Structures are given as structure tokens and as C-alpha cells.
Chain A
Amino acid sequence: MSTPVQVQDLQEAEVVFRVKRYSKEKGDYWQEYKLKVDRFTQVTEALRRIKVKQDPSLAYRASCHMAVCGSCGMKINGEPRLACKTLVLDVVKKFGTNVITLEPMDRFPIVKDLVVDMTEFYDRMERVKPRLYPSKEVLEYKAEHRLKPEDQRLLWKFAQCIWCGLCVSACPAVKEDPLFLGPAAHAKGFRFLRDPRDTITEERVKVLADSAWRCTYCYMCYHVCPRDIEPVTAIKKTRALLKSVKPMGPAQEVGHKHSEAVYESIYTYGKINEGVVYVKTYGLIRSLVDMTYAFRAGKAKYALEKVEPVKEVEQVRELMRGE
């Protein structure tokens, strides 16, 4: 059992690592290792010491130990993290216990212990063609590549992906929707979609457009990304860029109407008028059908609540007007 730990000025501690292990022969099981760590010990270093001194059969992946190679993604006390970018005592402090669980990332098939098979992740990344396709002129040295500083500032963040897979392992939409490319691929996809030096925009649009409307904006990817890439932000920007691109896939078609209705409602009233947005997105008949669920849940009395428009709505409109 866990022991409550007095934490704030902790310099060293004996920590119990509960590791979820797996092998083809034995299946799943938990194993505990005790280890003394100090305030500089990363989780990868702890694993290295366990493997060298206690149990050579323990399998995990790690290489650079500096959050660059993306090899050591795992769940640390349930949270998807890079083991090398996580200090053991920080986890002890955050959770108030000296017992730390280590599990393989969700979603990917487990090869052994903390090592997962990333093939499915790499396939997703390949689908967005994660490389620049320069023009013929550039390849033949007849022209030069140019990138404005503001474009570079915009794209920089999304180019920092280290392919660790943490965001995909944690994404709820990926789990339920085979047509959604997932957060990492969208960040990478947007990075090239918006790059003025790239030449296969049309092909990129086809891959990214409908998928972008399949994200649920839960901000899991933003939270777990060890490189602060904000894949969800890339998805929002992709929607902005491709909102009217045709032909529209099913999610894009509905999503486009919905966002347009949200925009219009705020522009008109300064607020979201749920009823109007629903009808504009789904049409009257579908809205009436869904309204019956609300009525059966006893919500009829609120359905006619009148939205009180913003008095200074002209000021709101001014804030919504571009340059």
C-alpha cells in the first residue's frame, strides 16, 4: 500500500515501482521493484538501474534520455508521459505517494512489458506524407525556397513532433473513429499543408479535410504532448483553412454548417442561441426529433428561454471583424 509522503523538500526517497509486465508466455502481471532515488533521477534512469541491478528481464525502450528520440512513452501513474522527461520525485510530490505505477501506453499492441508496437502510429503519420514536396524549379536549383518569418513562427510548433505516440495513445476520438487520423498526424499534416514551399496541397487537403472534423476538442493531446505541440490547435487551424473546401466529407459537411451557425449566432446576438444553431446545423426535422429527447428529460420549460442579446452587439461585431 502507498505511504503518504511529506513531499515539498524531498531530496531522496525509496520508491516502489509497480510495473505492469507482459510476455506472450505469462500474459499480464504486476511486479514491484524498490529503488532509492534522488531529485535528479529520471524514470528512464530508474528503469535502467532496475534492469542492470535487479531484473535483466524487464523490457522498456529508451534511447536519448533528453526528450528528443520519442522512444520512452509510457503511463506513469496513469498519465501518458515520456519517462526520460519525468523526474521520479516530481511524481512522488504530485501524487503524494512513493508508489509509482508504470504501464505501457494504451491503444498500441504490447510486445513485452513497457514496449509497444508502434506500427499503427507510423502508418497514420505516413498517410499525411510527412515531408516537404518542393517545386521542380527548386529541385533543379532554378529557384530558392523562401519562408516568411511569420509563417515560420506559425509552423515551428507543429514541426517539433518526435513521434512518441503519447497523444494517439490517449486520444478518445481515435479509439472510436477509424476515419480520424489522430492528433500527431494532424499536427504534422497542418505543418506541411500551410507551408508555402510545399506543392502537393491538393492531395493534403483530401487527406486532412474530413478527418479534422472528427476531433472532439478534449485537449488530451495538448496536455500529454511532451513537446508542447498542441495538435488540437493544428486541427482548429486546419478547419479554419479548409472549411469551405469541396467536395465535403460527411463530418466536414455537418461541422462546417455547425461552426458557421455558431459564428452567425454570436455575430447576430453576441451569444449562442442553441435552438438556432441546432436547426441551422441539422435542419428543422432532425432538430424537432432531438427536441423530443430534451422534452422527455423535462427540459421543455427551458427550450423557450429567450436569449437576451448583447446590448452593445455592435462592439462584439467590431471585435469579430478581421483586418
Chain B
Amino acid sequence: MKVAYYPGCASHGLSKDVDIATRKVADLLGIELVEVPDWNCCGGGFLDEYDEVGQVALSIRNLSKVESLRLNKMVTPCSVCLHSHRLAQHKYKEDSDVRKAVNKRLNRANVQYSGTVETEHIVWVLLRDVGVERLKQHVKRPLTGLKVGAYYGCQMLRPESVMGFEPAFNPRSLETLISITGATPVTFPQARACCGFPLMGSNPDVGLKLAYNVLSGATNAGADILVHPCNLCHLQLDTLQLKVVERFKLPQPLPAIYITQLLGLAFGFTPEELGIPKLALEVLRKKGVV
């Protein structure tokens, strides 16, 4: 199958490994990811506080590029990019004031969009389009014995009325994917809580505390490692993890990897091929997984 692919800004920066692993896994599964030509930022969840109309218009520009590829599905590995695009589509459809203002700008900038594209998360595509059985067939190296915390965060789930893939208070997608790898999924109380990343730009003390809540909650539930579905969770829980560890004097890190990195390991890719981050690599070695 062929889908348009929207990597998002962070996965061309410090979350590059999310992009690397996602492309590898998709390729193996026969999903052809066609990068959206000349894509722009979705607004990162912040632009709309300055310019709501502009944020919608920028998302629509990406979707119009997808239409020009004659595709009707755009997939992203980033929950925030997913959220921005889906919310923009929702507003464009439901709010006539926003639609009018957006259309003016689209006309001015010569962007045509007829509304045929769905934005989806890579997790949704893996479960809905590829399916559990086909995913299982690709497992070469079951990750038996590894306990993996299933961390959803916010934006892939909420608001349920706009995201729509699974119940926001009873999601199972990550547990299902973790089980496919042969690892043991660990459900913990903070699985749907915020990682704190969006507060890092205004109130970092509380932002780090929220990250600590997630890490300590998963550790207490017995997880060896976390998986998450988001470029920006990756920045908070992987890139900045040692800051959380230091601030709250955690006895050891609880490394976080992206869900396609975990799948990729089970599918037989090497940690290097998947860009598995350093902190995670240490734990995976200790657990005898790699």
C-alpha cells in the first residue's frame, strides 16, 4: 500500500531516530511512504495561539500536497502533528467563520484543497491496515522477558471525538503492538497523562514534574522501558530524560523509545538500523534483548 508520509519537524531534528525506525518498519511491511512534497510545519500545537486561521491554513497546505499525489491518506509518526492536522480539518469543516477566513488565505496563496484526505497515526495504520496477524508474521526475534510500559500521552487520544481511533480512557493499541513483539506490556496509571513537553516552553518546572510522574509511575508498575507514539514525547522522555533523573533524583533512568523502534527490534533489525537511543540500548543489553 502507498500512503503519504508526514515526518514532522522534530523527526528531522533531535527525534530523527523516530523517522529512521518508522521508515525501516514501513518498508519491511510493504507500506510505501511517499513523503509529502515540500511539507511545512503543522504549527506544533503553538501557532494557533497566535494565529488560529494560519494554523488551519498551514495544515490544509500539507493536505493539498497529498491530494496532488492523488493519495487520500497522510500518515505521521507524531501525535502532535496528527492532532494539529485533524483538529485543523475538524475546524475547517465545522466552523464556518474559520473556514471563510482560511479560504481567503488559501485563495490568496493559490492553494487548492477539496477535502479528501484523512490524517492518521502510524499506529493506526499498523493495526487497521496491516493488521495484527500480518505484523506477527514478521517477528523474527521475540522480545520475550522485556517488560514494556505502554505510554500514550495526550494528543493521539484526545479529544476522542476528533481523534476517533480508540477510546481515550481505554486505549489498547500500544499494548496490542507490544504483545506482538513478544514483550510483556505494562499498563500503568499515568499512561494517558501528559509528558510535560508543551510546558517546557512556559513553565518547565511543572513540565519536568509531569515527566517524572510518567517515568516513576511506569517504573513502579515494573516496566524495564517505555514506548510512546510521539516525536515530542521523545524529546521529553528520551532527549531530556537525564534532566528529569537529576532533578528528581531517580535511582536510574527509564528509557523511552518510539513504538516502531520496538517493533523493528522484534522484526530483526539491529539497534543501529533503528537508531535506538543510547539510554535504551543500555537497558536492552542488560535485559539480553540485543
Interface of A with B (CB < 8 Å)?
77-79, 94-95, 150, 153, 172-173, 176-177, 213-214, 216-220, 222-223, 236-237, 239-240, 243, 250-252, 254-255, 258-259, 262-263, 265-266, 270-275, 277, 281, 290, 293-294, 296-299, 302-303, 305, 307-308, 310-312, 315-316, 318-323
Contacts and interface: CB of A to CB of B under 8 A. Distances in A.
A43 to B, nearest CB: 15
A57 B135 CA distance: 52
Contacts of B40: 266, 270-271, 310, 316
B214 to A, nearest CB: 10
A172 B52 CA distance: 24
Nearest to A75: B169
A252 B202 contact: yes
A281 B202 CA distance: 9
B30 to A, nearest CB: 27
B46 A262 contact: yes
Contact of B154 (A219, A237, A298, A312): A219
B170 A94 contact: yes
Given A176-B210, A259-B46, A315-B109, A294 B202 contact: no
Closest 9 CB pairs of A and B: A298-B278, A255-B202, A258-B201, A318-B109, A79-B169, A218-B194, A219-B158, A319-B57, A213-B202
Contacts of B110: 315
B44 A316 contact: no
In the complex, which range does the number of interface residues on chain B fall in?
Answer: 35 or more
Nearest to B239: A294
B242 interface: yes
12 contacts: A217-B198, A263-B47, A274-B13, A293-B243, A297-B238, A297-B239, A298-B278, A299-B277, A302-B15, A310-B40, A316-B40, A319-B57
Given A78-B170, A223-B159, A274-B9, 11 more contacts: A94-B167, A150-B97, A173-B199, A219-B154, A223-B161, A239-B49, A263-B47, A277-B201, A299-B238, A307-B13, A315-B61
Contacts of B209: 176
A281 B111 contact: no
A297 B278 contact: yes
B191 to A, nearest CB: 11
A305 B13 contact: yes
Interface stretch (B100-108, B120-128, B221-229): B100-108
Contact of B203 (A213, A281, A298, A305): A213
Interface string B37-48: 011110111111
Interface string B198-240: 1101111011011001000000000000000000000100111
A173 to B, nearest CB: 7
Contacts of A153: 97
A252 B201 CA distance: 10
Nearest to A256: B202
Contacts of B49: 236-237, 239-240, 243, 259
A258 B202 contact: yes
A173 B242 CA distance: 22
A180 B104 CA distance: 37
B160 interface: yes
Contact of B169 (A77, A177, A213, A312): A77
A51 B204 CA distance: 47
Nearest to B238: A297
B163 to A, nearest CB: 9
- Most central of B45, B109, B168, B277 by chain A CB within 10 Å: B109
Given A255-B201, A311-B38, A320 B58 contact: yes
Interface in B89-135: 97, 101, 104-106, 108-111
Contacts of A308: 12
Contacts of B45: 217
B279 A297 contact: yes
Given A172-B194, A240-B49, A297 B241 contact: yes
A258 B46 contact: yes
A223 B58 contact: no
Interface string B229-259: 0000001001111110000000000000000
Contact of B210 (A78, A172, A254, A322): A172
B272 to A, nearest CB: 12
B257 to A, nearest CB: 12
A201 B153 CA distance: 36
A216 B48 CA distance: 14
Contact of A305 (B16, B48, B83, B240): B16
B54 A319 contact: yes
B270 to A, nearest CB: 16
A266 B193 contact: no
Contacts of B278: 297-298
B206 A177 contact: yes
B155 interface: yes
A94 B240 CA distance: 37
